[in-house]
Structure 1
């Protein structure tokens, strides 16, 4: 017998949406109510300034203050105040729909997390389960995560090209699907968790969207279908294969889920299609993480940009995932010890975490797959959609552009800085290294020497590269052809990093 999921009645969802909109429950409304400092503190997990602000709110925003306390602060609220906040829906229907629950003293508290979420396009409402901080017991086995750092980072990394069909694997509460709606005609979203699909359906309806929601693992729900864009924030947590919590545990051993997801991708991408996903991968002692991920990619034929953003040691990794389930200290100690024992038995010394961007070449675009696997960990160098799109375009340009064309091309630099490092010596400061850096570009740093610094400085979009090299060769008294052979790899790397580009 199937369990009745929360918010299964569309009439209740519509009434709830009407009440939330009437109260001004959106990012701007909440921000104005709380004030800048309290709102920023709440974003960092510090809740008491927000509670203070809602308690001091003016009468005209009392309804909004009640809603904020319910859904964002986990407060118990009087029956009458909640009735005033939800005049269309009514308390009884909200309790019956699993949105609110009644305490023994007659007060009401939120049973779900419903919160505003904004991007550059619009403001949304996202429905999920409350995290462990808001509850006094461990989260459910079928707990549905809300807005978190991983989901936001993937949303920022997705290339926002118009797409006819998009697929969101492991949609959870529907955050990726929300962002896909702005540039995709048709969205299919899947999950193995029936509760997640129910809350994703509520998220879609609250935001006036329609998604094709399907139950199943990986590509089972879309067998034989192809898409222009596939995104996934899957349950990638590395473990022994148990499935304690559906949102993090796939039930597959180690990093097998990510490997299998990538293996099946080519059969479901249209020519020219893109896939972007978050993944974790095992790192063994004395092994290069790139070799493991490269083995996943090898049979796919897909171009790839793999960026490792973090490498966690076993204790830090296990502690991270044990901290969000709300389990008792004893349970955490027992589960953590068993988990660490398994890591030790498997010879796992670290877990790599990052974002993978894949593209299936268009028909007629032959050649060996183009793959870059690198570690980029600096703050401010996160992968974004525009950067990912530009990186793939630059790699295509380099792959299809001969040296002769480059030598005839007029190149110019992006906005960059020249950074130099020097050490004090007997004759004053001695420069030991220099690099050109494009601010904000992931890994957009190029080490340079005196000649390459001069070459980049000369690339102003007016003189062909070959002519610049000849001028430099004449100045330094070297052979122009030899200098060109030495300079072209540097030029290509500068183009790859977005430091140089051709003026059309």
Structure 2
């Protein structure tokens, strides 16, 4: 695959970046600004992939929003715009400078179109601008080999799952356009961002400058650029795609066979975490015929010395997996069919039945944490159970609490049940509906569901932070005419699991 010649990196002129940023701010090119221009209905349709209402709305933009309309049409809708309109929208940067810096391109008809994806992005508190390459929907043919991904589902999932406690040093390994570093800036003093792709580093630098940030950008693979250094927080959305080891596209292909890149990353991360530090890593893993995915990932974790929470969010069959990544690259049908066929043949030869996709969160023990490394691997696929930073932080806090709290102390503790739903499954019988199963669920909590019987549901209902757990168990034992000690022995594992899932917590 050959690439067109590129005399210099995109947005190589800092003065042009600054002028571009000023033009974007003046026009109100923010998430709220775009929504206000398009209107709620057209904006919602655009989010679903229906573009014509947005084009219609920008065509009818009032004069005082014409610059914003041009920006939306160029960068979000992929439209060609007359040079005069673009000149009016970017009076500071200037059309010629934007073309020279790879932001815009001149068409054969003399109009201008976007050569980069520049889009607003918000975290609920602040507005950002993110620079990346145009995805396959806004360009002709396949993406470049050194294509730089923009804001995608995986990057958003990772950003939501990161624990946002203030820390000193953070590492964004495989930064791409810089979306993770962008979110790290609010709570990390120093940020190092690495990538093997020089074009990605150039666009990440532009993203940082447009948002008034400064990151230490370094080129290299895995932890090579930070050899001997440690961090309080590491985040990584690496090129994790499982394949035969080719490197057709840098953003997805590591050049390492199978899931070897993720295995190597997990094996090395502990040497770069400070005590008490956390790593959040998006990963894919091979699931061979007859194997349990947990066994493979557990092998990666075995000698790390780290606590781990691994959540498999999806399990894709080979055809779905290959189709996802071939369509993502925008290759012509014949090329995609050839490459996809070779990919599937490799999967078949390797006996790969599926590919697991999810999040691996790692925690380095503190000096006072003498627990043996604990590895929790589970499948959580519901859309409303996505990982969030607060949930991840609470998960590790609960695991430590359970280790430090003996059964004796737990029986003496006053416990409260979190806001939960009791869900029952019933079947019709001769006496009407008969309950055949029940569970309590904490809404929004990933994996926060616990099966209950008559006694445990009564026990959870009684946890109101008023009396010790042991007293509740004694009252239940008396009510059911059973031995209190035996009931405690049976109830404590249930209570511990409920605490681990955030369903019950110590009230004091």
TM range (shorter): over 0.9
| CA-to-aligned-CA distance 1:299-358 (integer Å, 9 cap, x gap) | 101000000000000000000000111111100100000000000000000000001110
- Which residue number corresponds to residue 160 of structure 1? 164
Residues in 2 aligned to 1:103 and 1:293: alpha-carbon distance in whole angstroms? 49
Other-structure match for 2:446: 442
**For 1:159-198, what per-residue CA distance to the aligned partner results, in whole angstroms no more than 9, with x for missing partners?**
0011100000000000000000000000000000000000
Aligned counterparts of 1:365 and 1:355: Cα–Cα separation in 2: 24
Is 1:463 matched up with 2:467? yes
- 1:465 Cα deviation (Å)? 0.1
Q: State the Cα deviation string for residues 91-143 of structure 1 (Å, max 9, x = none).
A: 00000000001111110000000000001230100000000000112100000
In structure 2, the residue matched to 1:372 is 376
What is the distance in 2 between the residues matched to 1:120 and 1:135? 30
In the other structure, the counterpart of 2:91 is: 87
Q: 1:3 Cα shift?
A: 5.5
Query: Quick one: which of 296, 302, 309 aligns to 1:298?
Result: 302
Confirm whether residue 267 of structure 1 aligns to residue 271 of structure 2: yes
Query: For 1:338 and 1:207, how far apart are their aligned partners in 2?
Result: 42
How many pairs are equivalent?
Answer: 504
Q: 2:190 aligns with which of 183, 186, 191?
A: 186
2:176 — aligned with what? 172
RMSD (Å), alpha carbons: 0.9
* Residue of structure 2 aligned with 1:385, choices 389, 414, 422: 389
Q: Take 1:59 and 1:3, find their aligned partners in 2: how far apart are those partners? A: 37
CA contact (8 A) 1:303 1:371 kept: yes
Q: Conserved in 2, the CA contact under 8 Å of 1:279 and 1:354?
A: yes
- Runs (4+) of structure 1 moved beyond 6 Å? none
Question: Is residue 289 of structure 2 the alignment partner of residue 285 of structure 1?
Answer: yes
Q: How far apart, CA to CA, are the structure 1 residues paired with 2:159 and 2:47?
A: 18
Q: How does 1:362-441 map to 2 (within 5 A)?
A: 362-441=366-445
Aligned to 1:198, which of 199, 202, 214?
A: 202
Q: Secondary structure in 2 aligned to 1:74? A: coil
Match of 1:476 among 451, 455, 480: 480
Gap runs ≥5 in structure 1? none
Is 1:55 matched with 2:51?
no
How far 1:2 moved relative to its partner?
A: 9.4
Contact 2:371 / 2:403 at 8 angstroms: preserved in 1? no
Secondary structure of 1:324's counterpart equals helix
Residue 238 (structure 2) pairs with residue 234 (structure 1): yes
TM-score by length of 1: 0.99
Contact between 1:410 and 1:461, CA under 8 Å: does it hold in 2?
A: yes
Q: Contact 2:422–2:441 (CA<8 Å) still a contact in 1?
A: yes
Contact preservation (8 Å) 1:121, 1:182: no
Separation in 1, partners of 2:141, 2:14: 29
Q: What per-residue deviation string (whole Å, max 9, x for no partner) do you get for residues 391-446 of structure 1?
A: 11001100111000000000001100111110001111110000000000001000
Rate the CA distance shift 1:145–1:493 in 2: closer, same or farther, 3 A.
same
Q: Is the 8 A contact 2:441 2:450 kept in 1?
A: yes
Secondary structure, aligned partner of 1:380? helix
2:334 paired residue among 330, 333, 337: 330
Q: Which secondary structure does the structure 2 equivalent of 1:231 belong to?
A: strand
CA offset digits 1:433-489 (Å, max 9, x no partner)? 000000000010000000001100110000000000001011111111110000000
In the alignment, is the contact (CA less than 8 A) between 2:232 and 2:273 conserved in 1?
yes
Q: Which segments of 5 or more consecutive residues in structure 2 lack a partner in the other structure?
A: none
TM-score (norm. length: structure 2): 0.98
Inter-partner Cα distance in structure 2 for 1:326 and 1:144: 14
